Amino acid sequence: MLDLKFIVANADAVIAGAAKKHITCDVPAILALDTERRELVTALDALRAEQKQAGKLIAKADPSERPALAAAQADAKAKLKSMEARSKDIDAELKALLLLVPNIPADAVPEGATDEDNVEIKRWGDLPKFDFAPRSHSELGEAHGWIDIVRGARISGSRNYVLIGDMSLLEHAIMRFAFDSMVARGFTPLSVPTLVRSETMVGTGYFPGGEDQAYRCDDRDDLCLVGTAEVPVTALHQDEILDFEDLPKKFVAQSTCYRREAGTYGKDTKGLYRVHQFQKVEQVVIDVADEERSLAHHEAILGNSEALLQSLELPYRVVNVCGGDLGQPQIQKFDIETWMPSREGFGETHSASRFHDFQSRRLSLRYRGEDGKVRHCHTLNNTVAASTRMLIAIVENHQNADGTVGIPDALQPYMGGRTVMGKPLT
RNA sequence: GGAGAGGUGGCGGAGUGGCCGAACGCGCUGGUUUCGAAAACCAGUAGGCCUUUACGGGUCUCGAGGGUUCAAAUCCCUCCCUCUCCGCCA
Name the average pLDDT for chain A: 93
In this structure, the number of other CB atoms found within 10 A of the CB of residue A124 comes to 15
A59 is near strand B: CB distance < 7 Å:
yes
Residue A370 confidence (pLDDT): 82
Task: Identify whether A48 is a catalytic site residue.
Answer: no
| DSSP calls for A346-385 | EEEEEEEEEEETHHHHHHTEEEE-TTS-EEEPEEEEEEEE
Tell me the average pLDDT across A235-252.
90
Would the pLDDT of A19 be above 80?
yes
pLDDT score for A69: 83
Buried b (16+ CB within 10 A) or exposed e, A159-175: bbbbbeebbebbbebbb
Give A306-325 pLDDT, tens digit per residue: 999 999 999 999 999 999 99
- Residue A64 — pLDDT band, cuts 50, 70, 90? confident
A88 touches strand B (CB under 7 A): yes
Band (A372; pLDDT cuts 50, 70, 90): confident
Q: CA of A287 and C1' of B34: distance in angstroms?
A: 40
* Confidence grade of residue A391 (pLDDT, cut at 50, 70, 90): very high
Residues A217, A346: Cα–Cα separation, whole Å? 35
Express each pLDDT in A108-159 by its tens digit.
Answer: 999 999 999 999 999 999 999 999 999 999 999 999 999 999 999 999 988 9
Q: How far is the CA of A372 from the C1' of B56 (A)?
A: 20
The pLDDT of residue A317: 98
Pairing mode of beta strands A365-368, A240-243: parallel
Whether A348 is catalytic = yes
In this complex, the nucleotide whose C1' atom is nearest to the CA atom of residue A37 is B50
Task: Read off the pLDDT of residues A148-201 as tens digits, 9 standing for 90 and up.
Answer: 999 999 999 889 999 999 999 999 999 999 999 999 999 999 999 999 988 899
pLDDT at residue A426, as a whole number: 77
3-state DSSP call for residue A415? helix
| Strand B closer than 7 A to residue A95 Cβ | no
Widest CA span in chain A = 104
Q: Taking the domain A115-421, which CATH number applies?
A: 3.30.930.10
Comparing A371 with A381, the larger pLDDT belongs to: A381
Cα dihedral sign, A199-A202-A207-A208 = positive
Give the distance, in angstroms, between residue A321 CA and nucleotide B20 C1': 54
| Domain layout of chain A by residue ranges | 4-98, 115-421
Answer whether A257's CB lies under 8 Å from A274's CB: no
- pLDDT tens-place string over residues A216-243: 887 777 888 999 999 999 999 988 888 8
Q: Is the ipTM of this complex over 0.85?
A: yes
- The answer to whether A362 touches A205, Cβ cutoff 8 Å, is yes
C-beta of residue A376 within 8 angstroms of C-beta of residue A365: yes
> How many Cβ atoms from other residues are within 10 Å of residue A239's Cβ?
10
Class of domain A4-98: mainly alpha
What is the rounded CA–CA span in Å between residue A15 and residue A20? 9
Quote the pLDDT of residue A216: 87
Q: What is the DSSP string of A110-174?
A: PP-SSGGG-EEEEEESPPP--SS-PPPHHHHHHHHT-EEHHHHHHHH-TT--EE-THHHHHHHHH
pLDDT given at position A351: 97
A259 tagged catalytic? yes
Cβ pair A122, A336 in contact under 8 A: no
pLDDT at A340: 97
